[in-house]
Structures are given as structure tokens and as C-alpha cells.
Structure 1
């Protein structure tokens, strides 16, 4: 990379990605809807680094260098000046994503690499809606980005090889294994995880076993780091529902969301951020039941 990495969206994904990029030595700009929004995300990252130093997971020197590499700015033409890469890390809604991608393509340098952090929206359609056919690459980072060792790179037909290689190089600079997948709704990772999660939800709905016990079967029986229902809580049940609905609308009936999932989302029990889903969570993101 010959210029900064600009990340739009100081939410869970954007903050995690910006934190890790700065730790990896990349000049990084965290962008928000305004300066205050961006700086609020910056403060959260600084707090994380403070805690990491206290717990001796990060040296004071490394923290100082990372802080110097990370800045905050409002999303606009000035924030894209000189940027080598633009990554949107916004909610999984094509109506939210495509206008900002179009703006980034217009405001950024003519050779800026344009990435979408979506985990499920088809890049072909997102690129078409953004006026970026051939230029947009899916770059699905897993949260928490510092701990997850892979990035799912979704490539639409006709994407310029240069863009694909630049995205692959960024993944390597972030210390990730880059897995390239063919563009389709849900890519590959979301489809596999969703299929398992939805089946676990149907088993709870049918009274086969509790959420805790079903997760235990997968963690203790198959060695998964977390069970499918805990993972669903961590991802967000509202996001799981939107992806399932999208795949179902595309004609894939096997992803029909269970009534239990709809009921939880309707009640506001969307998982870890709401502190309640299939499990209960505290404010620090730890399970309490």
C-alpha cells in the first residue's frame, strides 16, 4: 500500500478493523458520518489499547506507534485524499452501502482500491448499484479482527485482476489467510454458519434440547470454539434474520428462518449487543447464562 487505508463506519467491524490495521503498521483513517462520530470510535480503540497494555498484551511502545498511525475524520472528499484503499464497514443494507461506495469512487484517487466489508450482500449487485462494476471487491473480515486469521474475498465476474491482487495484498498485510470465493448471496462463510445456526434454532424450537446443551454438543463433541447459537448471538440475530430472508427471497427455501428467530428479533433480543438472545450477556460481552 502506498497510501492510507480509509475505513468508513466506527461500529463493531470498523473499529476492530481500524485497530488491527494500525497495529499491523498501516496508516489508517477511521471515518464517521461527522468528526464527532469518528472521534468517538477512535476513543474506543484507544481504550482497548490501554487495556491491552495493562494486561501486558501490548507494549507501551507498540501502543504509541499504533496511536500515531490512526486518525479520525468525517466522511467526505478530504478524507479520501491520497487514500490507497477504501473499506466500507456499514450495516448489512444495500441501500446504506451503495451510496457511500459510489461517493468514495468519485472522491478518491482514480486508482483507489474499493472494498465492501459485507458478509452476505452480492458484490455484483452492490457494484452495479454503486457504478463500480469491475472495481469493487468483497472483503469480509471476521470480528474480532485482531483474533481472526482469515478474510473472505468475494470476487464478482469481470472484476479487474489488479483490484483482486491489491485486495489479496491487503489481506496479507493484515496477517490473514485470504480465501477467495465466487460472488453469490451469502458468499461461503455466512452460508455455512447460517445453515448450522438455523438448524440449531429449529431444534430449540422443537424442544429437542436447550440452547446451552446444543452449543455444548458442538463445542465439546466437535471441538468448535463456540456453538452455533452462541455464534448467532455474537453475530447478531437481526443480521442472521436479514441474511436468511435474503437467501429465501432468492429462491433458497432451505434458509427459511424459524419462527423462533423472528420472535426473538421482534422482541429486541438480538444477541450480545442487546445482552439477550439465545443466551444472556453482560455489558462486557461475556455470557451470564
Structure 2
């Protein structure tokens, strides 16, 4: 196994828990660091539940107890000190991520690797505040992490060749497929996925077709496993809005968020996590 023996994850929300789950199943010891004891306890429960589900589904031959024995949670960044790799998975806010990454790097050994799970922010700009930017890259996991088979390895201008090779190997050890992209707004997946989703929203807004029929057209006509509007509900309308606003500011008017998206977010219709988005979800 090329994955470091101990992996850290900063942030134990849906994405962070999924990332922790993936590394646990792959055989690494994992520590999840959260902002307070309550959040850390919730993160532990989230990851443990996912690990038990993997056992029930037969996607691992290990017992739930064996998997959970490799999982720990903490509220102290010093818990990352003996990690060979730390993946940051805090909310998609540049200042928050930059501050967190700098604080994490201060705890790491000189030969440890650091990665961000950002889905759209500039990895090169995030690297600029680090002391060892050559040991930093993007590892863009997809939601839900256990079911997804893709990870984007995003290269900052400073990312070393050694890290590119190592990241490819880690992704393969996780049982997923790596695609390597140079740092650019939205990378490859978010840029294309958001472009399709925004156009689908405009079609709903203009009364071209219902959300259900637009999604069905993409699933049956283009073999997408999930339609762009249901995917938006799963990702979160607030998350999609944040990415669209960033792409709008960097790539121009073609990524301007439709009013229907702004209205739904303002109304608290955030998708699956709130029970209502472009579809109604059973909590």
C-alpha cells in the first residue's frame, strides 16, 4: 500500500467523513480533527456508520470493529503531527481554507504531504501561503465518496512531480480512478458539471420542461447516472451557488447563477440536506 500509514482529515462533515471512511477501508489509521468536542463526536458517529454499512454491503472483508479501531477524532491540530498525509475538507471558503491549511502545515513533519478537497478554488493561490508548497496539491473527492469512483488530482504550479506520482498511487489504492488536471477555475469536473446544471436551471426557470423531465433526458439520452438537477440537490444548492459565483467572477457571464438558484438558496431550499431543492427529499 502506498497510502501513508496514518492519514489526517480536517473537517468531519459529509465530505470529510467520506474521505476518512475511504482511507480507513484502504487500511490507513485515520484521525479526524473538528472544531469542538460535539462536532468531533458527530464526525466519529458519521464515519463509524459508513464503515458498518461497508461491512453490511460486503465491500470490505474486515469487521466493523477492526475498521473502527483505526479511526480516532480530535479537536487538536497537533493530532496531525505523525500523519504522512492530511486532507483538508472544511467549507468552500478561500480564507477559511487558507487559514486552516497554514495551521495544519505547522504541525506536520517536513516529509508529510498536504492536500485540499476544494471543488473549485485555486490550488495555486492556496499553496502561496504555505512554507512547503511543493508538497501540496488538490485531491477533489466526489459526493458521496464511498460510491464515487473518481478523484481529481489538481496540480498547483508548485506541486512536485513526486507528489503527482504519489497522489495517483493513493487514489488507485483507494479503489478509485485518478484524473490529473492543472489548476484552473472549476478544474475539469466542477466546470463542466456546473455549466450543465446552470443551463438545466435556466430551462426550469424559462418553463422549457420540468426538473424531472430535464433530468430524465440527461439520464436516458446521455447516460448520466444522475440528472444535473438531482445532482445539484445532492451536492447542495448553496454549494453550487458558491461555486457558480466563483466561476462567474473568474470565467465570465456564462457562469452567472440563474435567479431560480439564488431564490431557492434564500428560501432555505438547499436540496437533500434541507428536504427540498429542485426535488422533495424524505429526510
What TM-score range do you get, normalising by the shorter chain?
over 0.9
Q: Residue 89 of structure 2 aligns with which residue?
A: 89
In the TM superposition, residue 41 of structure 1 has moved relative to its aligned partner by 0.9
Total equivalences in the alignment: 281
Alignment gaps of 5+ in structure 1: 284-289
Structure 1: distance between partners of 2:49 and 2:251: 45
- Per the alignment, residue 29 of structure 2 pairs with 27
Match of 1:123 in 2: 123
| Corresponding position: 1:11 with 2:10 | no
Query: Which 10-residue stretch deviates more, 114-123 or 41-50?
Result: 41-50
Instruction: State the partner residue of 1:217.
Output: 217
Report how far residue 153 of structure 1 moved: 0.6
1:273 aligned counterpart, secondary structure: coil
**Alignment correspondent of 2:194:** 194
Distance change >3 Å, CA 252–CA 132, structure 1 → 2: farther
TM-score for the superposition, normalised by structure 1: 0.92
Shift in CA distance, 120/59, structure 1 to aligned 2, threshold 3 Å = closer
Tell me what 1:178 maps to. Answer: 178
Which residue of structure 1 lines up, in the alignment, with residue 69 of structure 2?
Answer: 68
* Root-mean-square deviation over aligned CA pairs: 1.7
Change over 3 Å in CA distance of 1:61–1:164 after alignment to 2: closer
Gaps of 5+ in 2: none
Q: How does 1:82-161 map to 2 (within 5 A)?
A: 82-161=82-161
* Aligned residue number for residue 50 of structure 2: 48
Once residues 90 and 22 of structure 1 are traced to their aligned partners in structure 2, the CA distance between those partners, rounded to angstroms, is 19
Q: Deviations over 1:68-120 (max 9, x none)?
A: 1111112322x012110010011111111111110111111111100000010
Change in Cα spacing, 1:60 to 1:111, as seen in structure 2 (3 Å) is: closer
In structure 2, the CA distance between the partners of 1:59 and 1:179, relative to structure 1 (3 Å rule), is: closer
State the 1:130 CA deviation. 4.1
TM-score of the pair, normalised by structure 2? 0.94
Structure 1 contact 171–177 (Cα < 8 Å) conserved: yes
Whether the 8 Å CA contact 1:42–1:72 is kept in 2: the answer is yes
Please tell me whether the aligned partners of residues 3 and 82 of structure 1 are also in contact (alpha carbons under 8 angstroms).
Answer: no
Matched-pair contact (CA < 8 Å) for 2:25–2:60 = no
Q: Following the alignment from structure 2 to structure 1, what is the Cα–Cα distance between the partners of residues 235 and 57?
A: 28
Shift in alpha-carbon separation, 1:232–1:133, aligned structure 2, 3 A: same
Structure 1 segment 223-238 matched on structure 2, within 5 A: 223-238=223-238
- In structure 1, the partner of 2:58 is 57
Deviates more, 1:68-77 or 1:231-240: 68-77
Q: Which residue of 2 aligns with 1:286?
A: none
Deviates more, 1:15-24 or 1:161-170: 161-170
Q: In 2, distance between residues paired with 1:119 and 1:131?
A: 23
In 1, Cα distance between equivalents of 2:15 and 2:8: 13
1:56 shift after superposition:
4.5
Q: Kindly tell me: are residues 206 and 237 of structure 1, through their superposed partners in 2, closer, same or farther at Cα, counting changes over 3 Å?
A: same
- Distance in 2 (CA, whole Å) between partners of 1:122 and 1:151 is 17
- Deviation, 1:11, is 0.2
